[in-house]
Structure 1
Amino acid sequence: MARQFSQETPDSVLDAADQRLTRRAVLGATIGNILEFYDFGTYGFFAIQIGQAFFPASDPFASLMLSLATFGAGFVTRPIGAIVLGSYSDRAGRRPAMTASFAMMSAAILLLAVTPSYETIGIAAPLLVIFARLVQGFALGGEVGPTTAYLMEAAPSEGRGLAVSFQPASQQIAATAGALVGEILSLTMTSEALNAYGWRIALLLGAATLPFGLWLRSTLPETLHRPETPALVIQPVGRSPAARRIISLGFVILASCTIITYVTGYMTTYALNTLHVSAPLAFGTTLVSNTVGIAAALLGGWLADRAGRRHIMIWPQVTALLMTYPVFLWIAESRSALALLGGLGALTLIGTIPYSAFYVSMAEGLPKNIRGRAFATIYAFAIAIFGGTAQPVVTWLIHLTGSALAPAWYMLVAGAAGLFAMLMMPETAPLKFRARRTSKSPS
């Protein structure tokens, strides 16, 4: 099997300049990610209100489904953005690809925030919203691959896990920020005001920070041609069986992660529409689970640097599978703040840890010349197929069965598929390769 070996650079070469690059890379990539995912995900938090504004219908269920379908429209163009911007990052560099993605997201979020309602401009309103979501999807499709590659390439080998964990952590930060804004607006505004224009305030708050993020991204140093430091991982050639295996397993794991993430992100709508709890508690549920998810994502990366990638993927995933049904049963039966905040928070804590280890494992396992495009494309297709459909599927399952446990069934199937793929992923942690080489060297 054809393989390519990257040159090693001794640890002593990692000086203060390398550490500054890592910190700057984490800051630039993370802030950009936060703003992009905040803008993209805030739509999901206000799906009910946006449905009423742009998709009025006599049946509230129909209005919600139309709104969620438009949320899903943002996933249609993600594979296209992944291929275009991911390829651009492998050819021209990570920085210009990340900057282009951010600029497109900026334009789309402003359009979405200022589009008049259906009552004001008729059919043009939902058409403009769908167009804005398609542009957002294209931009976000080209975001994850280049930024994940950038974070890994900017970090020293012993800190890759923690550096790359800022990718999923930044997504959790964005979701937390969206939930926090929703919580504040629901506490300070009447229901009528929240439905009429409160969701626009949430979108405009994200748009207000976009110039800073665009400037920050445009000033980042490039890492595409920077030597791996040190690259102890034996990387497969792009079209080799090893590369295809990593790509296939990565798709399954990302599909699993996507379903679980978007079902968890649906908890605000689920709590309001299915459990019929108060709006502050509904937004608080997502706020708590996402806050916990930030810590869990960083913990997962930190542990992956110390215990290896596979252990940190597999065992927390097993634990999360065992927890899922009991937690949702508790939530559905009690509908209490303790169950929603504590139960879902604990499940998020355990269930988020494996995916930071996976992110760095996937990035390390891909050759550098296809890393941005391959990661972005796999991620985007998994998101487009399973992320865009997760919330409508759960809504439909609840409507069909009348059971508040429907989200747990979907999460269990997804989690089991992810665990199966994790068991077959190769170990890519540099510390494992160092330990193997040391054990095989003559005494």
Structure 2
Amino acid sequence: MAQVVSSTSSMAPASRALSGRDIQTLLLASLGGALEFYDFVVFVFFALPLSHLFFPPNTAPWLAQLQVYGIFAAGYLARPLGGIVMAHFGDRQGRKRMFTLSVFLMALPTLAIGLLPVYAQVGVLAPVLLLVMRVVQGVAIGGEVPGAWVFVAEHAPPGRVGFACACLTSGLTAGILIGSLTAAWINHHLAPEQVLGWGWRLPFLLGGVFGFIAVWLRRWLSETPVFAELQERKALSRELPLRTVLAGHGGSVLLSMAVTWTLTAAILVLILMLPNLAQKPFGIAPDVAFLGNSVAAFCLGLGCLAYGWLTDRIGAARALLVGSLALIAVTYALFADLEAGGAHFLPLYALTGFLVGSVGVVPTVMVMAFPAPIRYSGISFAYNVAYAAFGAVTATLISYLGERVGRMAPAHYVAMTAVVSVLAALWLMLSRRNGDQQLL
């Protein structure tokens, strides 16, 4: 069995409280991550106007929406490229450099999307340019998320890795909240004609500015103590880090991919796609759908922190098990209420957001699954390949299943992925009992 354990001293069981420097690092990293993640996800909140503006006017609405979701998916397909390349240099030359480069690469295409001409102006060139910008975004986010988790985990004091990773994840979800609030404000204050005319550009222009602010913020961060120690001991990977990952850590890769599938489904379906899913199939008003999404995104951030706290106290596997079971229950409760008319949509969506926060356990599982010299490459490969495979098909698959299977299809899909995490958690607990791992 491949080893699923980190042996660096920073992951030792002894614990201490977060220092002022630790808190500063977490805040700066989380805020920068929030701004960058906003840039990546705001695309999906404006999928409907983009489907009208970037494709021929005689395109069937369902086909135009399917096409724009395809461009959205292209960002996920590009993630492994950026993630693998940045992770290679992150394991060889330092975490901080790649941590700063990724946010710069995100700011440029986001700003460019806000300035793009539409189909009525340049014809087929419009969706092509949109696709190119989305691919560059995917390259950037592919290096950002794994690098951010590694960065904060290696800065965290012993016994606080779960909370540190969850703080960063909470920061990333704050980017979803900012995007949701922006979409809610625009849909509430602008007429549909204004949104199609110029309002859709605002979130992308703001995102570009946010991205450059994040670049400036990250200049205050320092290299991680773990990487500095590896440099001092000349213990950096002498071989290609990814080759080492694939040759000797297959179990860690499969584990990381499994839990990433659940994370992908929970975030994409229950947070990013649900405002649109609630409107068309279930008849929820747009302003109510986006209000619910804003509340859910806020609760998601709180849920990540709660599960991070829980991880440091009961272990990653037990926290993953509890979170996955709760996610199954609340997903069916939310969709059953929507099926019945949505009388309790807002409070149930808030609870759903909080319990989706169980994804805050996932980065801890992955960070502790790989040794430090190849940690960035291991997480980046497993996370980005899984996210590309599952994220690229989720939006179109849900749209297809909704037409063929029925309105409960999204709930069935999320529940199926959560069962995978339940099995992963049980395997981790059994492995520790047999002495094969020290993850918990």
TM-score, length basis structure 1: 0.88
Residue 203 of structure 1 pairs with residue 207 of structure 2: no
Whether 1:346 and 2:347 are equivalent positions in the alignment is: no
Deviation of the 1:427 alpha carbon? 9.4
Amino acid at match of 1:225: F
Q: Which moved more, 1:5-14 or 1:413-422?
A: 5-14
> Which residue in 1 is equivalent to 2:311?
304
Change (3 A) 1:240 1:409: closer
Any idea what SS the aligned residue of 1:365 has? coil
Alpha-carbon distance between aligned partners in 2 of 1:415 and 1:238, rounded to the nearest angstrom: 30
Find the counterpart in structure 1 of residue 326 from structure 2: 319
Asked if 1:244 corresponds to 2:233, the answer is: no
Q: Report how far residue 28 of structure 1 moved.
A: 2.5
Give the superposition deviation at 1:145: 1.4
Post-superposition offset of 1:389: 1.5
Gaps of 5+ in 2: 231-242, 433-437
Question: How do residues 137-176 of structure 1 correspond to structure 2 at under 5 angstroms?
Answer: 137-176=138-177
Whether contact under 8 Å (1:246, 1:425) holds in the other structure is no
CA distance in 1, matches of 2:15, 2:308: 23
Partner Cα separation in structure 2 for residue 215 and residue 50 of structure 1: 30
Could you tell me how far 1:322 is from its partner in structure 2? 2.8
State the distance in 1 between where 2:348 and 2:23 align: 34
**Alignment match of 1:392 (pick from 396, 400, 416):** 396
| 1:11-22 alignment, distance < 5 Å | 19-22=19-22
Q: What secondary structure is seen at the aligned counterpart in 1 of 2:368?
A: helix
Which residue in 2 is equivalent to 1:287? 294
> 1:411 pairs with 406, 414, 417, which one?
414
Q: Confirm or deny: 8 A CA contact 1:267 1:285 kept in the other structure.
A: no
SS in 1 for 2:117: coil
1:137, distance to aligned residue in structure 2 (A): 0.3
Corresponding residue of 2:235: none
Equivalent-residue separation in structure 2 for 1:427 and 1:370 (angstroms): 25
Determine helix, strand or coil for the equivalent of 2:223: coil
What SS does the corresponding residue of 2:227 show, helix, strand or coil?
coil
Aligned-partner residue type, residue 389 of structure 1: V
Shift in alpha-carbon separation, 1:219–1:334, aligned structure 2, 3 A: same
Change (3 A) 1:409 1:156: same
The residue aligned with 2:214 is: 213
- Letter in structure 2 aligned against 1:116: P
Check the 8 A contact 1:74/1:135 in 2, yes or no: yes
What residue in structure 2 maps to residue 329 of structure 1?
336
CA distance in 2, matches of 1:202, 1:51: 16
Q: Could you tell me whether the CA contact under 8 Å between 1:361 and 1:428 is conserved in 2?
A: no
Partner AA of 1:135 in structure 2: V
Conservation of the 8 A alpha-carbon contact between 1:42 and 1:203:
yes
The match for 2:368 among 364, 368, 391 is: 364
Aligned residues: 420
Aligned with residue 266 of structure 1, among 252, 269, 273: 273
Where 1:157 maps in the other structure, the secondary structure is: coil
Cα contact 1:310–1:423 (8 A) shared by 2: yes
Alpha-carbon shift at residue 11 of structure 1 (Å): 10
Paired letter, 1:303: L
Alignment partners' CA distance in 2, 1:117 and 1:10: 54
C-alpha deviation, 1:326, in angstroms: 3.1
Alignment match, 2:427:
424
Deviation at 1:369, TM superposition (A): 0.7
How far off is 1:72 after superposition?
Answer: 0.4
Aligned residue type for 1:140 = I
Letter paired with 1:343? L
Partner of 1:43: 43
Identity over aligned residues, as a percent?
24
Q: Match of 1:276, SS? A: coil
**Cα distance per residue 1:366-401 (max 9 Å; x no partner):** 111111111111111111111121111111111223
Judge which range, 326-335 or 98-107, deviates more.
326-335
In structure 2, relative to structure 1, the CA distance for the partners of 1:362 and 1:267 (3 Å cut) is same
- What is the CA distance between 1:182 and its match in structure 2? 0.9
Q: Give runs of aligned pairs for residues 171-190 of structure 1, distance below 5 A.
A: 171-190=172-191
Gap change, CA 1:289 and 1:220, over 3 Å in 2: same
Instruction: Give the TM-score taking structure 2 as reference length.
Output: 0.88
Following TM superposition, by how much is the alpha carbon of 1:25 offset from its aligned partner in structure 2, in angstroms?
2.1
Match of 2:234 in 1: none
Using the alignment, how far apart are the partners of 1:303 and 1:145 within structure 2? 21
Alpha-carbon distance in 1 for matches of 2:314, 2:165: 16
User: Which residue number corresponds to residue 84 of structure 1?
Assistant: 85
In 1, distance between residues paired with 2:409 and 2:418? 14
Q: Which runs of 5+ in 1 are unaligned?
A: 229-236, 430-434, 437-443
**Where does structure 1 differ by over 3 angstroms across 4 or more consecutive aligned residues?**
1-15, 237-243, 426-429
Contact 2:107–2:209 at 8 Å: present in 1 too? no
Contact 2:55–2:127 (8 Å) recurs in 1 = yes
Paired amino acid for 1:122: G
